[in-house]
Amino acid sequence: MSRAEGPTLTEVKAWPATVPVPEAARALGVSKSHLYALVKRGEAPVRTLSFGSSHRVITASLVHLLEAA
């Protein structure tokens, strides 16, 4: 994988149960600021967990979205 490309679906499936928003954004091909904005508005296309001001994306939700694409 080159630095400009996102991870493959196989690579995402090997990720831990949750990942930081910037990592999920890279897999989705969007900017981290865009995904953070969607999370903040409750409009993210993936399930997230919030811990105070910190957010994590549930990898299974990310995989499901990528498989549907």
In a domain, 61, yes or no: yes
In a domain, 4, yes or no: no
Confidence grade of residue 4 (pLDDT, cut at 50, 70, 90): low
How far apart, in whole angstroms, are the C-alpha atoms of residue 18 and residue 21?
A: 9
In a domain, 3, yes or no: no
The sheet that has 48-51: what strands, in order across it?
18-20, 54-58, 48-51
Q: Residue 60 sits in which domain range? A: 9-68
In a domain, 1, yes or no: no
Structural domains counted in the chain? 1
Distance in angstroms between the alpha carbons of the first and the last residue of the chain: 20
- Predicted model pTM: 0.89
Mean pLDDT over 20-25 rounds to 97
In a domain, 23, yes or no: yes
| pLDDT tens by residue, 24-69 | 999 999 999 999 999 999 999 999 999 998 999 999 999 999 999 8
In a domain, 36, yes or no: yes
Identify whether the C-beta of residue 63 lies closer than 8 Å to the C-beta of residue 14: no
